[in-house]
Structure 1
Amino acid sequence: LEDAVGGQCWEVLMEVIAHFEVQGWEVEAGYYPTHKLDMCRLLFNDMQTFCSNLKKAVMKSLCADYELYPPSTAKMEEECIAAVKKKADDLLSTGKYLHGEPDNQGRASNFAHHALKNITLAFYYANTSKCLCQFLEFQEYIPYKALVLITAMVHTLLSLFRKYGIDKSAQVNSQDVEEGYIMLNEAISNVLDHPHHSPKLNMMLVDWAQMGMYVLIRMD
């Protein structure tokens, strides 16, 4: 807690204050020095809650959408665990957890797995007061970093299934998610640099946002 409050949370808070200054919005004199620690703690708690909610949203879809179940022929507990480990390893080692259906040229569709779509729509377009789709950016398309964050949590949880073969989501820690985020942010940057895959990804993110907003409007 102390490391986060004095490090990452403080950095985020400074970015927010800088944004206020750029916009010409006034920050009450003396407010920041007096309440710096309280604001950092509040931010830390919000971040922890956000990550916890994200983990729960991913776990709701993970096993079903990635078929992380043992075959019916597996009878012993050891067989079941080994089968799930193997499935998780295959998804991660081949990158299948990222891939949707091939396009009309038979080429891979990156960051397009239906699990990522289901989780993204459920998490960012839920009918709640803190839903991120209330922001204009999310109403038009899924931001790249938002998709990468979802995918990083998926990668982290799949890695735990590969190691243990059972639900160990309680062991998720922010460092593992951050490492996955850095790796996947580089991967999506490579996709965006590709002349064939970049337009396809951008179009997909617009389609997902439209779908999320349509469902949300119908729920209202």
Structure 2
Amino acid sequence: MGSLAADETSSSNDAMNEPTQPDDVLQHHHKKNGHPHLPDPTILDLIHCQETQAINAKSHNSGVKAKKVKSAKPKEPTEGPKPTQLGWYPPWWKTFLEEAKAECHAQHAIENAFLDSVKDLPLSVTEALMTSLVEWLEAGNEVEVGIWPDHKANMAKLVNLSTWRSDLKKIAISIMPSMYNLIPSAEVPPQAHTAWVENAAAELLDKSLFLCNSVDELWITNNAAHPALQAATITFFYTGSYHITHRRPDIFKQELPLQSLALVCTVYNCVFDGLVKNGSGKYFLKFTTKDYSAVYLTMVAELKNVLKDAYHGPRLTQ
């Protein structure tokens, strides 16, 4: 993801006084900074301000009645959905936010799935929103007036990663009992099932054995190769409802990004932590940035070390 590119040669006041059309602004931005970079917030605000003016000008010049753009009426704080919920937004914005949310998920799946909710998330998501909004308007789509930029911060909270990570945790929970042999045998008394699961989970969690798939033909441990990792990866990234691989086919068709594998490893760490504390499986820990960002970063570092290994590196990318 690119960084915000501010134009220091002109002021926002001068820009607002010029009768610049949205397309001209975008062409100027792309010519100056290139497509991968994010637009200056002032430019994006200008696109918003000019949207209605452009429609009115077209109507005046052609004599054809312009398509009506509804102004969104803010709802009372105590009534119905809030601006941090998708249901609060009018139709065009709702459609756009669904698209932006999916794009944000795909981007962070290959970058960093554990952004700091206070420091990093608003900025990162705002960048994604601005990029998506520019592309949305360039494609000829519209959005209702009276929303941007006043509710930009609320949109940043709406387009979050917490539900996304929670859905991955549900997948891991459904997979792990059978794939990790965590179902007590008939020889284990019913009253001892909980303790048995807790002990089994603790053994797998110790030294991250849950990531390994026994040993190979040389009796060397297969690191980060447990079938449960592959099962969760396929379900969440490739065949699941988020369609992450469809948004980055050039990346996922070749190999699973290291950050994505680290995310799957981390979610299993979270689920095993929960089983160690409560073997009944009725309660699991929350898969939050606060609790698992450090674990995720450790997983990323460990996987990078595996990639550097002359023996394990090539096997990890097979």
TM-score by length of 1: 0.75
Q: Aligned partners of 2:313, 2:252: CA distance in 1, in Å? A: 19
Closer/same/farther in 2, CA of residues 169 and 143 from structure 1, 3 Å limit: farther
Closer/same/farther in 2, CA of residues 48 and 121 from structure 1, 3 Å limit: same
Q: 1:148 aligns with which of 246, 259, 262?
A: 262
Deviation at 1:105, TM superposition (A): 2.3
8 Å contact kept, 2:169–2:287: no
8 Å contact kept, 2:214–2:222: yes
Q: Aligned partners of 2:131, 2:303: CA distance in 1, in Å? A: 26
Map Cα deviations across residues 190-210 of structure 1 (whole Å, 9 max, x no partner): 11121111111112xxxxxxx
The alignment covers a number of residue pairs equal to 192
Say if 2:174 is the partner of 1:66: no
Say if 2:120 is the partner of 1:8: yes
The aligned counterpart of 1:112 is: 225
Higher relative contact order by CA 8 Å / sep ≥ 6: 1 or 2?
A: 1
Q: 1:75 aligns with which of 177, 189, 211?
A: 189
The aligned counterpart of 1:184 is: 299
Say if 2:271 is the partner of 1:157: yes
Q: Aligned partners of 2:169, 2:274: CA distance in 1, in Å? A: 13
8 Å contact kept, 2:229–2:265: yes
Worse-superposed segment, 145-154 or 168-177: 168-177
Say if 2:244 is the partner of 1:132: yes
Deviation at 1:43, TM superposition (A): 1.5
Fraction of identical pairs, as percent: 24
Q: Aligned partners of 2:222, 2:195: CA distance in 1, in Å? A: 29
The aligned counterpart of 2:309 is: 194
Gaps of 5+ in 2: 1-83, 85-115, 139-146
Structure (1/2) with the larger helix percentage: 1
Q: Aligned partners of 1:93, 1:5: CA distance in 2, in Å? A: 29
8 Å contact kept, 1:9–1:43: no
Q: Aligned partners of 2:184, 2:273: CA distance in 1, in Å? A: 17
Task: For 1:139, give the aligned amino acid.
Answer: K
Q: Aligned partners of 2:281, 2:119: CA distance in 1, in Å? A: 31
The aligned counterpart of 2:212 is: 99
The aligned counterpart of 2:152 is: 36
Task: For 1:190, give the aligned amino acid.
Answer: N
Q: Aligned partners of 2:184, 2:156: CA distance in 1, in Å? A: 44
Task: For 1:9, give the aligned amino acid.
Answer: L
Q: Aligned partners of 1:127, 1:96: CA distance in 2, in Å? A: 27
8 Å contact kept, 1:161–1:168: no
Higher Cα radius of gyration? 2
Deviation at 1:97, TM superposition (A): 0.6
Closer/same/farther in 2, CA of residues 156 and 32 from structure 1, 3 Å limit: same
SS at match of 2:281: coil
Q: Aligned partners of 1:169, 1:54: CA distance in 2, in Å? A: 16
What value does the CA root-mean-square deviation take over the aligned residues?
Answer: 2.9
Deviation at 1:154, TM superposition (A): 0.4
Deviation at 1:127, TM superposition (A): 5.4
Deviation at 1:140, TM superposition (A): 1.5
Task: For 1:80, give the aligned amino acid.
Answer: H
The aligned counterpart of 1:207 is: none
Closer/same/farther in 2, CA of residues 5 and 81 from structure 1, 3 Å limit: closer
Q: Aligned partners of 2:294, 2:271: CA distance in 1, in Å? A: 13
TM-score by length of 2: 0.54
Q: Aligned partners of 2:287, 2:255: CA distance in 1, in Å? A: 29
Deviation at 1:15, TM superposition (A): 5.0
8 Å contact kept, 2:273–2:285: no
